[in-house]
Structure 1
Amino acid sequence: MECRLGCGACCIAPSISSPIPGMPNGKLAGERCAQLSADNHCCIFGSPERPAVCDRFKAEADFCGDSREQALLILNGLEQLTAQ
């Protein structure tokens, strides 16, 4: 599966504890990543500054569903299940 253009759910829903350019302490769940453009594209995709956790995330139907809205619901649910 390829990423859905303009989705950005994986850059919003999960918490990220790794530093991100513009977010030295990472980001909270539900917080929009500082590197997510207005049209929901990662501005540091392919860059060495991109956190490893972001680079390892691969689009899969189980995580992304059939739409951006489903992806947000699924990823938010997973975040709640794994929150400490």
Structure 2
Amino acid sequence: MECRLGCGACCIAPSISSPIPGMPNGKPAGVRCIQLNQDNLCQLFGKPERPAVCSQFQADIEICGQTSTQAIAIITELEIVT
């Protein structure tokens, strides 16, 4: 599956424990990453300072669902159960 351009669910729903430029302590679940622009695109995409956890994320129908709204719901639920 290819990422849905402008989805941003993986930059909002999960917690990220590694430092992110502008968020040195990572980010809590449900908080929009500071590097996510108004079009829900990562401003660090392709840059070396992008956290490894972000670069390694692979879009998958089981995680991302059919829509961005579904992706937020699925990733949020995964955060709760893990």
Normalising by structure 2, we get a TM-score of 0.98
- Structure 1 gap segments, 5+ residues each: none
- Structure 2 gap segments, 5+ residues each: none
Aligned-pair CA distance for 1:3: 0.5
Identity of aligned residues (%): 67
Aligned AA for 2:43? C
Aligned-pair CA distance for 1:59: 0.4
Aligned-pair CA distance for 1:77: 0.3
Aligned-pair CA distance for 1:76: 0.2
> Tell me, what secondary structure is at the counterpart of 1:55?
helix
* Equivalent pairs, count: 82
Map Cα deviations across residues 33-70 of structure 1 (whole Å, 9 max, x no partner).
00000010000011110111111101000000000000
Structure 1 runs of 4+ aligned residues shifted over 6 Å read none
Map Cα deviations across residues 16-37 of structure 1 (whole Å, 9 max, x no partner).
0100000000000000000000
